[in-house]
Amino acid sequence: MFNGFTLDHVDVGPVTLRVRHGGSGPALVLLHGHPRTHATWHKVAPALAERFTVVCPDLRGYGRSTVPADEPEHAQMSKRAMAGDVATLMRTLGHQEYAVVGHDRGSYAGFRLTMDHPGRVRAFVNIGGPPIGEVLDRAGATFARLWWHWFFLGQTDKPADEVINRDPDRWYGDQPGHVADEAWQDYRAARRDPRTVHAMCEDYRAGLTVDRRDDAADKAAGRRIGCPVLVVWGRHDDLPELYDGDPAAPWQAWAADVRGCEVDAGHSVQEDNPEALLAAIVPFLSR
């Protein structure tokens, strides 16, 4: 897994990130989602490394990166903080400009990178992550049925981490057949750490508070993504139902150059159908 890649732990100031990086060519950073680690990219990173210098970090609080101390309003797990980590990481590795691919919660960190560090990001691929504020503004019965975990993980009166930590393997389920054993064991080791589970819940709590406010402030100020955006989703995921078959539509308000691509996969496109994902993103990233 990740043949030819280097495994490092890079100090980016407030936290230290575990990161794998390899390849050559224009820089490309891949950001995982919940409850994954950077290992989620194990099927696509080696192929991308033939064209790009690929950087795959564990986001703060996830995997084997630092779990930051709690802050008011869950700001330690805000997407602004995550984006700052990644910007520092890429600068430390010598990359002044790069493309970003984000999946699930990683797509929100990627979006915040485009907004807070616009001169750095040359292209943005969003996999399975509609805008946080837009989602919450239109959340109704369908959203509550399909994405109820946003509110379970995000509430604080009866903390979800206390429930999950009683039996994390049961909560997160068994290994899917399409996930390599080494990657699955990496996920499993992380979710068995109560500190990491707490941080992952704090990610969702930040999403309901400070992240939503940051997005709303950008929207009110008329700020938009300056680079091309490719929105990718799985045909068998719930996004087509939530967005009437066009999950790219809500991004039109955020960027002038938005394209959409449906892949024959579930939510974790990079694991379910890596060949189709590569076919979709390589031409976009190579422009």
Which are the catalytic amino acids?
A: 104, 267
- Residue 163: phi, psi to the nearest 5? -75, -50
Give the count of alpha carbons within 13 A of 68, CB side only: 22
What are the angstrom distances between the C-alpha of 201 and each of 32, 99, 125, 134?
A: 15, 27, 24, 20
What are the angstrom distances between the C-alpha of 33 and each of 3, 58, 162, 257, 269?
A: 22, 9, 21, 24, 12
- Residue 98: phi, psi to the nearest 5? -165, 160
* CA gap 223, 219 in Å, rounded: 6
The token pair at 217 is 């402030």
**83 in Cβ contact with 89 (< 8 Å):** no
